[in-house]
Structure 1
Amino acid sequence: MNCYNCNLSTVPADLPEEINGLDLSFNPLKHLYNKSLSRLSQLQILDLTRCGISTIEDDAFAGLDALHTLILTGNPIKQWSQVTFTGLHSLRKLVIVETSLATLSELQVEYFPSLRELNAAKNCIDRLYIPSFLFRLHVLDLRANRITKINKEDLDNLRHANTSNLSLILSQNFIHSIDPGAFRFVNLQLLHLKGCFSHEDIMKASLNAISGLRVQMLFIGQYRNSPTRVKFKENLFEGLCGLDVEELTIMELYITFTNTFFDCMENITSLRFIHTSLSQFSPESFASNMQKFELKHAFVMNVPTYIVSELKHLKELRITNNQRLTHFGYSLLTLDKLEFLDLSNNKIMMESCCDKFISGKSLKHLNFSYNSYIGLRSHFLNMPHLLSLDLSHSKVDSVGQFPIFMSLNNLTYLDLSYTSCHFVIHCSFCGLFSLVELRVPHTTFAPDILGSVFQNLSSLRLLDMESCDLKNITNEMFGHLNRLQVLNLSKNKLMELPASVLLSLFSLQHLNIKSNNIQGLSNDTVQFLSKSLAKVDLSDNAYDCSCTQEQFLMWVHEQSIKNLNFSNHIECKTPEHLQGLLLRDVNLNCSWTLIYISIMVSVIIVLLLLLVYHFYLKNRFLYLCFCHQGYKKSATEKTYDAFVIHSSLDEEWVKEELLRELEGGDPKFRLCVHFRNFEAGKLILENIFYNGICCSRNALILLSPNFIESKWCSFEFRLALFWRFLEDECGIILILLEPIRDDQLKHMYVLKKYLSSKTYLKWEKNDKEKEVFWKRLRKALTQGRRVDAPLLGPAE
């Protein structure tokens, strides 16, 4: 429960008894009374930061048996009584920063066997005396106190004590001197001396003085904002010869390389340089048994492979955050035991990775993230044990173009975020049978591979596809991801999320579809989200808050009442008067809206019917106008045997084949063609209808792709059908000059329907078929209107 800065002078008496966390920081409590918190028996974390508490009564924490973290930072406590912490049997962490504590002996915490961390930073402690009741601690933080001298007798009780798990933090105590042998026979997990020495001479003397210390990790150096600079001097680290230390971290030192720099580091197995000016090494620098090496924020321009390649026992190599480092020029193939390689946050340009430069026999983790360019020229053939590969925020090639991961059967983590990869092959992730986590934000996928690109990732638990320019999702896309638990589809261009896409995701718990173009979700989708998911982020979409999304809006309102763990800031985009309103606050009366919509639809239908009827009357009127003058003549006298309806692009066939055969053969037929028989000066429409259709016994339709593309051909065909329908005066003969695809007939519904129910002639180029074609055509022209009779045979 958060009661931060509520101007409370006492602990509220109406706090719920079942709370497990309470923040009372920055309240003027000043006095903590006896058993004032005893009702809160389930409390685990209590924060009393800067409450002005000067007095803590006896048994003030009585009844807090479950409390494991107590924070008293910034309270000017005058006295710590022997029963101050009575009842805190489960206390594991105590924070008493800035409480004016003078000595650790003031604290009476010897009866707390569970206490593991004591943070007493920024107090008034001036002696490094650690009472025996604190030996069970894992962390003792005394940073920024007033310790300037460490006396030998202050640490007598630590000698031969079991403090191998203790991390002692003395940073920012301005230590001037340490008694020689003060740490002899002392055994620690960690000793932190960062920012303790104002001069290199003091550091050198202090390192010599702690001779005899056995410590797992030692931190020395300065803070970045320190007003003093410590520079390397000859034999600065000679005191390390008297220490038993395994891991050494050197920070913020201005290092001038000398041949004595690494003296006394023979037994160190882990060496870290952080924010140093180190820029070069010599082959004699390192101990041959070193297992871990880290170089962070240094001045190196090349990966020092010529040095580290000699470290045959090296297991972990980290060279990171070096802005001058651009090249990886030497091979690490000799490091057969290397398991972890981190070269992230540099400016490396690597033309060919990785088989020729890096030994992968034992490699498990490889990180090339945040570099300039990594050229993948191999298939990771020599890295059978690789578990994680991070190429994020680096320009890479070949990924998505070739199946380069085929050999990484044990890989569990792959990060390709912000690599701008474009996946075009179905086998982009082939071979990754063990992959658990895949991150591909800011990459793109060819639409035709989305249904199968993830099909072999049956072990996947997390898939991050943020900003992948996805416009739609196929039902097969996640069909094989039965174990997927976390799916991030945020910042794409999805307009819908069908339930059919999600049905195969049996294990899905977290879904993020933030910042898409989704207007609403279907009933099936929201049912899936309600039953299966623990967390859903639906925010920042273009939600439609009209009645068309009524069911979705009702669901959002229900979930806000049930407190389903999904994003609350889901706002309306449309209609305009509801823009910016939270979906859970939308209150629509859709019953009247539906009536209005029904009325409007009915009105529109009536208007459309009237419009259709109007066009019918208009066409009928035009027909009467055109046929008025010569109707009787057209009904009794026919000038032509057929009116040829064709595209001007097929005119050559008409002249060379049709006219020559029918008008020059026996019997002779008379044909009407527009380029020869239309009268000059008349309207085109009048020529087509009066001089062509009305004066011909038949209409000869020459079908071809050119015919389909011609609007005049389509009009003439419909006019012939119209005349036949009204007067039954015109036979229609269809000739297929060239094949026509179904998709070409989409916009000519009348012709498509007519072809499906009528027979037609098909033009063939071989002589035998031509002879049959002309014979059948002559027979059709002779019989006139009976052209649709079965004599033409079945459609071809």
Structure 2
Amino acid sequence: MNSWLIRVLLLMVFCCHDALSCPKRCTCHFSTKTTEVVCPDAGLSHFPGNGLPGNTTSLTIQFTNLSVLTSQDLKAIPLLEELHLPGNKLSSLLADLLKDVPNLHTIDLTDNELQELPSQVFHHAPLLNLVLKDNRISSIHPDWIPIDSNLTWLDLSGNHLTKFPMAQLQKLNHLKVLHLSQNKLEELPVGCLDAHPALERLHLEQNKIEKLDVKAFSHTANLTHIFLQKNRLEMVPPTVFQGLDRLEFVDLHENRLKFLSPGTLDINTSWVELTFNPWHCDDTIEYLWRKLTTESLQSEPKCASPENLKDRAVATLTLKEMGLPEEAKQD
């Protein structure tokens, strides 16, 4: 190898030293377009600034004792696009946290100790995906997201929300996926989803919702999946799913449903989960029985009452057992 080539290679090594360095307790993956850094060491208690490549595009700090994160920490990695921070000890976020990462589109803060979201906390980055799952959030400032937000994925599941954050979500008209499961929501306010015409997947499972407004989904015609399992629904308005032509799946299992009104499941999909409801198998169950026996719904709900029919699959009932005249077969 001639001396000129050696000098060029040495120059490249020195020039790129910072870009190819890697912090202790972390692993770095380099490619022509991305630099990914993963720091999974439980002993880590501070931001791993020393040795962090300046061209980092994805940073993961997971299951550590990290409790503080500042904008100054992130300033050293201005090309950052994804920030994953699951399983740490963060209890608060600074309002200017993201001011020096103008390319950040994804942030995951799953399983931290966050309690409140301050004003303008997500104003400085063009976020598309925001995950705040399994924290302690009970309140959100109305101005936490900018007016021109392009957020498409929001996960607030596993928090302490008691009311649907209607005012806080009004600006998210590009939202496609909304996770509000495992909170303490008792109702869906009238019009709470009207600002989300692009919504495709709605997760409301494991709350305390007792009823649905007949127009709950009237402005969300793009919905494909609705998850309402493990709530306290005693009835479903018969027209609540009308107009949802793209609907592929509805989950209503483990509620308090005893019957379904005619028309409730007159929808395009047969993928409806209905198990573990207290179905009362008399003449009021006829509509559900017909849907199960003639349209092959992908569910096997069982009777909870009366006692003589308990644990019988609804689809196996006879007209006589439901208290219906045999001639009803000809209807």
Same topology, TM > 0.5: yes
CA positional deviation for 1:446: 6.1
Equivalent residues of 2:183, 2:206 under 8 A apart: yes
Q: Find 1:358's aligned residue among 145, 150, 161.
A: 145
- The match for 2:106 is 316
Output aligned runs, 1:627-706, within 5 Å.
none
The 5-angstrom pairing of residues 213-612 of structure 1 reads 236=24, 246-257=35-46, 261-286=49-74, 287-322=77-112, 324-335=113-124, 337-351=126-140, 356-359=143-146, 361-373=149-161, 375=163, 376-378=165-167, 380-396=169-185, 399-445=187-233, 447=235, 450-479=237-266, 481=267, 483-496=268-281, 497-499=285-287, 502-503=290-291, 510-514=298-302, 516-517=304-305, 541-542=311-312
Deviations 1:670-711 (A, max 9, x none): xxxxxxxxxxxxxxxxxxxxxxxxxxxxxxxxxxxxxxxxxx
Task: For residue 311 of structure 1, report the CA deviation from its aligned partner.
Answer: 2.1
Flag the structure with more relative contact order, 1 or 2, with Cα contacts below 8 A and sequence separation at least 6.
2
Q: Distance in 1 between matches of 2:71 and 2:251?
A: 44
Identity, % of aligned positions:
15
Match of 2:328 in 1: none
What SS does the aligned partner of 2:96 have? Answer: helix
Partner of 1:668: none
Cα distance in 1 between the residues matched to 2:124 and 2:294: 43
Aligned AA (1:347): R
Tell whether the 8 Å contact from 1:384 to 1:410 is kept in structure 2 after alignment.
Answer: yes
Cα deviations by residue, 1:349-387 (Å, 9 ceiling, x for unpaired): 2255xx521246211111011112264142733222211
Amino acid at match of 1:406: D
Provide the C-alpha distance between the structure 2 equivalents of 1:392 and 1:239, rounded to a whole number of angstroms. 33
1:441-471 residue CA offsets vs partner (Å, 9 max, x unmatched): 1223464x62222223232111111122111
Change (3 A) 1:330 1:321: same
What is the CA–CA distance in structure 1 between the aligned matches of 2:109 and 2:26, rounded to whole Å?
Answer: 26
- The answer as to whether partners of 2:123 and 2:144 remain within 8 angstroms in 1 is no
> Aligned in 2, Cα 1:333/1:347: closer, same or farther, shift over 3 Å?
closer
Structure 1 residues 316 and 305: alpha-carbon distance in aligned structure 2, compared to 1, 3 A threshold: farther
CA apart distance, 1:551 = 9.6
Secondary structure of the corresponding residue to residue 279 of structure 1: coil
Per the alignment, residue 662 of structure 1 pairs with none
1:677 alignment counterpart:
none
TM-score (ref. length: structure 1): 0.34
Return the index of the structure with the highest Cα Rg: 1
Residues 516, 488 of structure 1: alpha-carbon distance in 2 compared, 3 angstrom cutoff: farther
5+ residue gaps, structure 1, are 1-180, 186-210, 221-234, 522-539, 553-796
CA distance in 2, matches of 1:242, 1:361: 31
Over 3 Å counting, the alpha-carbon distance change for 1:297 and 1:503 in structure 2 is closer
TM-score, scaled to structure 2: 0.75
Preserved contact between residue 229 and residue 254 of structure 2 (Cα < 8 Å): yes
SS at 2:35 equivalent: strand
Deviation at 1:240, TM superposition (A): 6.9
Higher normalized helix content (fraction of residues): 1
- Alpha carbons of structure 1 residues 512 and 262: separation in structure 2 relative to 1, 3 Å: farther
Matched residue SS, 1:284: helix
Shift of residue 432, structure 1, vs aligned partner: 1.3
Structure 2 distance, partners of 1:243, 1:475, is 58
Unpaired segments ≥5 residues, structure 2? 1-8, 322-331
Q: Is the 2:58–2:81 Cα contact (8 Å) retained in structure 1?
A: yes
Deviation at 1:313, TM superposition (A): 1.2
Which amino acid in 1 is paired with 2:59? L
What is the aligned length?
298
Are the counterparts in 2 of residues 489 and 514 from structure 1 also a CA contact under 8 Å? no
Structure 2 CA distance for partners of 1:518 and 1:486, relative to 1, 3 Å:
farther
Does the C-alpha gap of structure 1 residues 262 and 320 become closer, same or farther in structure 2, counting only changes over 3 Å? farther
